[in-house]
Amino acid sequence: MNQDINFLIPSVPQSPKWWRNIVMYQIYPRSFKDSNGDGIGDLQGIIDSLDYLNGSSNSLGIGAIWLSPVYPSPMFDHGYDVSDYRNIDPSFGTLTIFNRLIEAAHQHSIRVIMDLVANHTSDQHPWFIKSRASRNNSLRDWYVWRDPAPDGGPPNNWLSYFGGSAWTLDKTTNQYYLHKFAPQQPDLNNWNPKVNQALVDIMHFWLKRGVDGFRMDVVDRLLFDPTFKDAPCNLAYKKNVDPQVKKFDFSKTYYQPEVHQIIAVFRRVLDLYDAVGIGEVEARSIDFIQRFYDHGRGVQLPFDFLLLKTPWEAKKIGAHLKMYEKKLPRSSWPMYVLGNHDKERLADRIGKHNLKLAALMLLTLHGTPMMYYGDEIGLASMPLSKDKWQDAYTKNTKSDWTRDYSRGPMQWNSSKYVGFSTHVPWLPPNEFKNEQNVQEQEKGPNSILHLYKSLIKLRNNHRSLSEGTFELIYDGSEGVIGYLRSFRTEKMLILLNFTSTIKQLRLKHKGLLGTVIMRTHTHNNPQDLVCTIHLKPKEGCILKLEKN
């Protein structure tokens, strides 16, 4: 069968920059919903859950889902080790089910974003199998091969992000291959235009099937220093102190400015389909993240991971927002995120008592919010002894934290396997499953889930919140962050009390008075116009401003 035929898949009506005014939601497919009782989430499970995400008055109101990789994979890094870019792993389903997912998602007005893993493949990918077979084959320079150092060791001191050397010796040809991540994830040689072209072809393959964009894995690290010089010593390194602080720095396998040329090629492909590119850019500074907009030639939405890394303190968050907005290139659009499959669960990081405030902030900021599945029910990590860890990155290290903690099964109800599966799930539910589940929270008007639904509905119905401008009014120095979102004459004032005390604020802003339309702590009807407002500890609220 010719897999490149054009499928007649309905698409969501296009609007310019559609990715600006919707709420996006990351699904870790292994953990969302299992349809066939093998304990592993799958595509059919996602299809079965679409009503929860969008399409009815009781849905969350999500406009796009990003699926972590669903391609065939030995699952060493749970899909981030791809062995075939043009198919679906049998544990997730088939291409036919994938086509059905696109069709059903679009019917629910949900766009589908896939993960593009362009830095490396699995060591089981046919490209690598061929590349490693001999020194002279046509795919040899699709990967990065080097002779051993004179002492037989690795060609230089580069380190892998997953620990140890970034080089592994392959006995077949007695050369080392480069892997920024695990040895099972050999790096593609993205300096080779044939590799770039192969990735472009893969993008066409999925975009033709109706996919609406890609989240681009480690997009800032697609290259390496082609001189292969040693990396400098890391000055912060001290022997036997902190295993996370490595002896050499990562500059040689990190950002190379030529990466923008590759991203620009990807962007041209995306533009042919009005598709979106979301960039996983490891945050070093605001300037660094914002480089990836590249004057409209880069990805439309580089993640702001700095917000996620900022301690949950009003002063620090306020300062970050102020700076980010100030430096944002004109016509660029932020993408804010508070959690993902590599980072600590939001509930673990900031504590249960802050979750409503975080929801209100994420869903009223200027930019496209990317939610992480389960955050809408306040999902916290599960107890998991080290012998049960599955994450390749952490299970062989001295780390006392594993990414598994953030990848637990979605908790749909309080049954034994939380409505995720009829079988023991690949990771256990958490100990709070009686409260942290969809069914329970749908009953309670004061639940986190209820707040998420109301906030998303409000955002989807008010252009000031989804597309409006942003003006910081309170910068957090007094414990309260406040900002104004405006679109034409519609103005919303958002106030977030990060402190544990009651805050009283005067509301006169440029002659406008406010009507409280939503509060995190009391879900009552809109109140009358108010001049002052009392915010409870950790309370956030939204006011619609009107002329006095």
Longest CA–CA span in the chain (Å) reads 80
Tokens of 171: 């006995």
- State yes or no: residue 66 binds ligand GLC (CB under 6 A): no
Measured CA to CA, the distance from residue 127 to residue 120 in angstroms comes to 11
Rule CB under 5 A: which of 41-70 touch Ca ion? 42
Q: Rounded to whole angstroms, how far apart are CA atoms 273 and 90?
A: 28
x/- mask, ligand GLC, residues 95-134, rule CB under 6 A, reads ----------------------x-----------------
Give the containing element (helix H, strand E) for 103. Answer: helix 95-107
Chain-centroid distance, C-alpha 134: 38
Q: Does 187 bind ligand GLC (CB under 6 A)?
A: no
Q: DSSP label at 488?
A: T
| Residue 280 is among the residues annotated as catalytic for this protein | yes
Site for ligand GLC contains 77 (CB under 6 A):
yes
Given 123, 212, 220, 280, the catalytic residue: 280
Angle of CA points 83, 213, 74, to nearest 5°: 15
State the Cα–Cα distance between residues 357 and 496, nearest whole angstrom.
7
Residue 217 interacting partner from ligand GLC, Ca ion, none (CB closer than 5 to 8 Å by kind): ligand GLC
What's the closest the beta carbon of residue 97 comes to Ca ion, in angstroms?
Answer: 11
> Which of 26, 27, 34, 289 is in the footprint of Ca ion by CB under 5 A?
34
Q: Which does 40 bind (CB under 5 to 8 A by kind): ligand GLC, Ca ion, none?
A: Ca ion
Which amino acid belongs to residue 364?
T
Quick check: 71 binds ligand GLC (CB under 6 A)?
no
State the nearest-atom distance from the C-beta of 174 to ligand GLC, in Å. 27
CB 486 within 8 A of CB 471: yes
Q: One symbol per residue from 137 to 156: x for binding Ca ion (CB under 5 A), - otherwise; what is it?
A: --------------------
Taking phi first (over 0 means left), then psi (-120 to 50 degrees means alpha), and beta for anything else, what does residue 174 get? left
Q: Which is nearer to ligand GLC, 170 or 220 (CB)?
A: 220
| 3-state secondary structure labels for all residues of 459-471 | HHHCHHHHCCEEE
Q: Which stretch binds Ca ion (CB under 5 A): 38-46, 302-310, 380-388, 437-445?
A: 38-46
Alpha-carbon span 465 to 486, nearest angstrom: 7
Tell me how far apart the alpha carbons of residues 340 and 24 are, in angstroms, rounded to a whole number: 12
Residue number, nearest CB to ligand GLC:
80
Out of Ca ion, ligand GLC, none, which partner does residue 187 contact, by CB within 5 to 8 A per kind?
none
Q: What, of ligand GLC, Ca ion, none, does residue 80 touch, CB below 5 to 8 Å by kind?
A: ligand GLC
> Which one, 123 or 280, has the nearer CB to ligand GLC?
280
Please tell me whether residue 89 adopts helix, strand or coil conformation.
coil
Tokens of 314: 């009003």
Pick the catalytic residue from 217, 220, 376, 440.
217
CB nearer Ca ion, residue 92 or residue 483: 92
CA angle 268, 92, 34 (to 5 degrees): 130
Q: Helix, strand or coil for residue 7? A: coil
Which of residues 217, 220, 325, 404 is near ligand GLC by CB under 6 A? 217
Q: Which residue, 203 or 543, has its beta carbon nearer to ligand GLC?
A: 203
Residues 373, 420: Cα–Cα separation, whole Å: 13
Binding mask 310-349 for ligand GLC (x = CB under 6 A): -------------------------------xx-------
Contact status, residue 299 vs residue 277, Cβ threshold 8 Å = yes
Q: Give residues in contact with Ca ion (CB under 5 A).
A: 34, 36, 38, 40, 42
Q: Give residues in contact with ligand GLC (CB under 6 A).
A: 77, 80, 117, 181, 217-218, 280, 341-342, 393
Q: Which residues are catalytic?
A: 217, 280
